[in-house]
A and B are shown apart, each in its own frame.
Chain A
Amino acid sequence: MASKTPRVPVALAAGPSRSAIVRVGRPLRLLWRVLRSNPLSLVGFVLVVLIVVATALVYLAPAVIGVHYPLNQPSNALGQPPSWAHPFGTDPIGIDIYSNVMAALPVDLSIAFAIAVFALVFGGLLGLVAGFWDTRRTLGGAVSVVILRITDVFLAFPSLILALAIAVSLGRGVPQVIIAVMLTWWPYYTRLVRGEVLSVKHRQYVTAARVAGVSETRILFRHVVRNVIEPVVVYFTMDIGTVIVTFSTVVFVIPNVISFPSTNTSEWGVMIQNYQDSFSALPWTVLAPGLAIFLTVLSFSLLGDGLRDVLDPRTRRAMLETRRLEPAAPVEKAEEAESAGPAAPVPGTVPDVTGPS
């Protein structure tokens, strides 16, 4: 390696304020390496990208991908099987299923994100508090006991049944169903985050930060959260699919719980519910939205798996190491490798092979 090569990653040379920006590039490069080494997560990643692109197209240029408004426009093609003109066929009065399925994509995705983000933030914060301040006979301990008993109440019920019950009692409307699922969704995040916090907060490095004079809140939000966030993000990604399934199920099970005033909106659960009577005669009317749900769930689950590997610094390092072992790294490539990952061994130092104990 050229001796003038700075051994510090560029990010650090500029001081911590700029490093945050520069560091964003590194995970992206790592993401690519991980995706290449794990084909299934690559499939998930590609599917998620496709879903996002399709969502954008439905909004920006529906005609390009063959979505025609209004969605409930009858035509002469009554109950036709899939064809080039109607990729997912038509229903008994000639409405195009494909347009409906595609138009439901942004609706279902945004609903799922809204629910999952709420659960993540609300449930996650409660989990942080309940995990970090759980000493008995203190104010924090009392608060965390209350939080945990409330989550127990929610977890004791099957969440789908509970969501159905809440949705029924709240009445008709999209916001009502969203709120119903939200209310049943956060306890899982509370439990997950609390468990992770409990395992992290007694680690020596938390004590070390404490004895270095870091305040408790800062320890929680900087040192603990950073070590808890990985499994939570993975769970969140996989959870998107589950939320879609649950939301669609609620909508499917309760007749007419949501109806869209606009003729330009549709939802998969609503579609399945509307067409369930025609399933035996015209199976594509139900299979198409079902397949859409299936693919969305699958792609987010696969992506979540891949993310797990990207986010953990140790597996990340292992991947970089195995890649470096393949060919003998040419000298001129060393610089690139170094800027790509923190694990690149610096000449003159012995790479440490001891794992974390």
Chain B
Amino acid sequence: MGTANSLVRVDPRTVIVDHSLLKPTGWDQRVVPDDLRQYVSRSRLVPGTPVLRLRRGQLFVVSGLPFLAAARDAVPPLSEVVCEVVAKPHELQQANLRVVRVSSLLDDMPPVYRATNMLFFRRALNAQEQKAVEGMIVAFFQEATSPEWNYGGQYRWMENPEWNEAHDMITWTWWKSDTEGHDLLRLCQVLREVDTHIAPIRSCNGFVPLFP
């Protein structure tokens, strides 16, 4: 019986890092570790699927190390992360790993959820710049929810944006569903305008942005 890839819920503290097995992806390399840790702490979401290898009953990380580290170092830490494990089915059973069916994983997700977003800047912003950034985000939300300019994604409502003490990071939350439309393309345009006209962005939800 050959090896297969299965989704498994894993405690990030139990995964072993062997640098000779690591094959970081470009997605891993876009992570700003401290920003991602803050994002995971706040959103409780891990925006990546680490790939692990099962060897002699132990799990070794192949890719997605920054996501495991962010889950482990988050405040409070995440007890489980959904990972892809490369192993033979009987090895998964022997290691007592719980295989997750992706359909049930998706079914269990509430249709509308609290989506936290965090924008990290390379420098502190003054009051005027902060107000401009807030204005652009709120304007996008109003645009996305107006009947004539609906970009999809069922944006429902938005909580007030807040800045950190150093004034170099803004957090905002909106209630929405998963999207398929032009909303993300439009949001990226807004963020590019922020990056170009107000202040350079260090990361968005823990990732270095690649603007189109």
A, B assembled together: no
Chain B residues packing against A (C-beta within 8 Å): none
Chain A residues packing against B (C-beta within 8 Å): none
